[in-house]
Structure 1
Amino acid sequence: MRNPRRVPPVPGRLVLGPDPIGLRQVRDLTIWGDGGLLYVVACDSNASVGELPHDFLQRPPEEAGYNASKVALMEVLATGARPFLVTNTLCGPLDDYGSRVLAGIVRALEEIGSDAPIGGSDETNMETSQTGVGVTVVGRAPVAQMRLGSSRPGDAVVCIGRPRDGVRVPYREGDADVAAPRDVLALLETEVHELLPVGSKGVAYEVGELAATVGLSVTLRTEASIDLDASAGASTCVLASLPEEAIERVRTATSLPVEVVAHLRAGPDDPMGVV
């Protein structure tokens, strides 16, 4: 069912400036701005990962909280904003087990040195037999610091990290090819123009979203060694647009694998080409 109260998307190409911005949807983000500041909201959920009887993936419940908060944090950080508020919706009681889920959220914030307060609510009316949690992150930054819509014609697009969904392709947070929020912060200090964490729809889809935000077309590099359509689960990799000549310098700035997956070009014709 279509959401009749969905926040309206940005019409056409995203352009950020000093004028106030009403509530707008940009990809998975909700943004608004006033007084020189831009506010960014991202959310994610995680379900059936934990130690309860009907959890599909039997893992410590801390992973559910960490993964849900990790995705939302990476989406906010990638824009150049910094989180100042986090809320959670715990799909179970805040008992010892529920506290372990929330500990995963705390861990994700601690890893980036954030002291953003955590609010939220839990479920005590119904008995639950699966782990579930949703996390919303609200961030802000001066408009001049924002990276949204900063990709340019001629940019290469690289995938940093590798897509892993946790089921078909198992992984653990901390693996050498799995991106984390702290990697986003480090990449913002390099020559990248724009960052976009990859989700369950895969690299090719997110490349298209990156280009559409600024009205560019895409040439996908089909000989890339990674599956461009594979789910990246809890954002195990991130896309970066950058000048071609900066790729090697970015490779030296991160321990994650870096691979060119596309190039951005001007022109609306054939918006998703392949080579």
Structure 2
Amino acid sequence: MRDVSFIPINGKEELVIATDCAGAIGEKLEDDVKVPLEVVGYYTTRVAMMECVSVGATPFAIVLQNFAGDDYWEKIKGGILQACTELGLQNIKITGSSESNFHVKQTAIGISILGKVDSEKKRITITPPTACFAVIGKPLVGDEVIEQTNDVLSLSLFQSLLDFIYEVIPIGSKGIAYELNELLKDNDLQAADIQSTVSLTKSAGPATCVLISYHEEMEPKIKELAGSLFFKISLV
């Protein structure tokens, strides 16, 4: 299920709101996963950005809710800017707020992305019955994300795929099978069984992989782009 909301602006455009959050991941003593705050900002922004762009929207603003404290703002912002740069969004507006009244023992942030999309060009419910399906990237979570960076779908690859597919859905904590079943339902399709060489139920953490639907003629080009990160999905 897509984690985005659409709000009509006028008769042609819609505001798109995409969001993600992270907790207990960072530099604080009681964080469960220890990583630099730039990494936390990057991956949290990455998820929300992918959600926004996946439906055909163009992001124009970012809202950061920082519960870690004022001292952490610039580090988190550094990660946000890295994600923006990889998507060619260097001039995007960033605003937000920090918790400065109370000390929070674990890192926690929320990211919201605002974008606009032409109502007639939304990349949703456009997967036909003849479509093929695949996963690009491996589902990873926690320390795996840092230890297996070569298995993580890059933002540049994500952006390159958009020209060759029908729909794309970033995979989160519910896993590939859940998102595929939601995609099928949204397009009035169904499958009795789903098979792939990659785990279909494992959490993909900060969207380390995506589900795509595409025309079979596009498969050679998609495989060329994705290389070893291409995993075909078979429906029965």
Q: Which moved more, 1:31-40 or 1:45-54?
A: 31-40
2:45 is the alignment partner of 1:73: no
Please point out which of 88, 104, 112 is paired with 2:79.
Answer: 104
Tell me what 1:187 maps to.
161
Q: Distance in 2 between matches of 1:85 and 1:27?
A: 19
Tell me the TM-score normalised to structure 1 length: 0.80
Tell me what 1:135 maps to.
111
1:159-170 matched pairs, under 5 angstroms = 159-167=135-143, 170=144
| Cα offset, 1:166, TM superposition | 2.2
> Contact (CA 8 Å) 1:159, 1:238: kept in 2 or not?
yes
Helix, strand or coil for the counterpart of 2:210?
strand
Q: Kindly, what percent of the aligned residue pairs are identical?
A: 31
AA aligned opposite 1:238:
V
Tell me what 1:215 maps to.
188
> Contact (CA 8 Å) 1:37, 1:142: kept in 2 or not?
yes
2:179 is the alignment partner of 1:206: yes
> Contact (CA 8 Å) 1:203, 1:228: kept in 2 or not?
yes
Q: Which moved more, 1:74-83 or 1:213-222?
A: 213-222
| Cα offset, 1:185, TM superposition | 1.5
Q: Which deviations, in whole Å up to 9, do the C-alpha atoms of 1:115-159 show, x marking residues without a partner? A: 210110000111122111100001112223321111111211100
Tell me what 1:21 maps to.
none
1:166-177 matched pairs, under 5 angstroms = 166-167=142-143, 170-172=144-146, 175-177=149-151
Tell me what 1:260 maps to.
232
> Contact (CA 8 Å) 2:157, 2:225: kept in 1 or not?
no
2:57 is the alignment partner of 1:86: no
Tell me what 1:37 maps to.
13
> Contact (CA 8 Å) 1:193, 1:241: kept in 2 or not?
yes
Q: Which moved more, 1:242-251 or 1:131-140?
A: 242-251
Q: Number of residues paired by the alignment?
A: 234
Helix, strand or coil for the counterpart of 1:158?
strand
The structure where helix makes up a greater share of residues is 2
Tell me what 2:24 maps to.
48
Q: Which deviations, in whole Å up to 9, do the C-alpha atoms of 1:88-112 show, x marking residues without a partner? A: 10012222x3321221111111111
Could you say if the C-alpha distance between residues 173 and 29 of structure 1 is closer, same or farther in structure 2, counting changes exceeding 3 Å? farther
Tell me what 2:202 maps to.
230
Q: Distance in 2 between matches of 1:166 and 1:180?
A: 17
Q: Distance in 2 between matches of 1:39 and 1:196?
A: 19
| Cα offset, 1:255, TM superposition | 4.2
| Cα offset, 1:179, TM superposition | 1.3
Q: Distance in 2 between matches of 1:228 and 1:138?
A: 30
Q: Distance in 2 between matches of 1:71 and 1:238?
A: 11
Q: Which deviations, in whole Å up to 9, do the C-alpha atoms of 1:213-253 show, x marking residues without a partner? A: 2222135432x211100000000000110122321221113
Q: Which moved more, 1:59-68 or 1:30-39?
A: 30-39
| Cα offset, 1:32, TM superposition | 2.2
Tell me what 1:7 maps to.
none
Could you say if the C-alpha distance between residues 109 and 204 of structure 1 is closer, same or farther in structure 2, counting changes exceeding 3 Å? same
Q: Distance in 2 between matches of 1:83 and 1:255?
A: 28
> Contact (CA 8 Å) 2:2, 2:169: kept in 1 or not?
no
Q: Distance in 1 between matches of 2:122 and 2:227?
A: 25
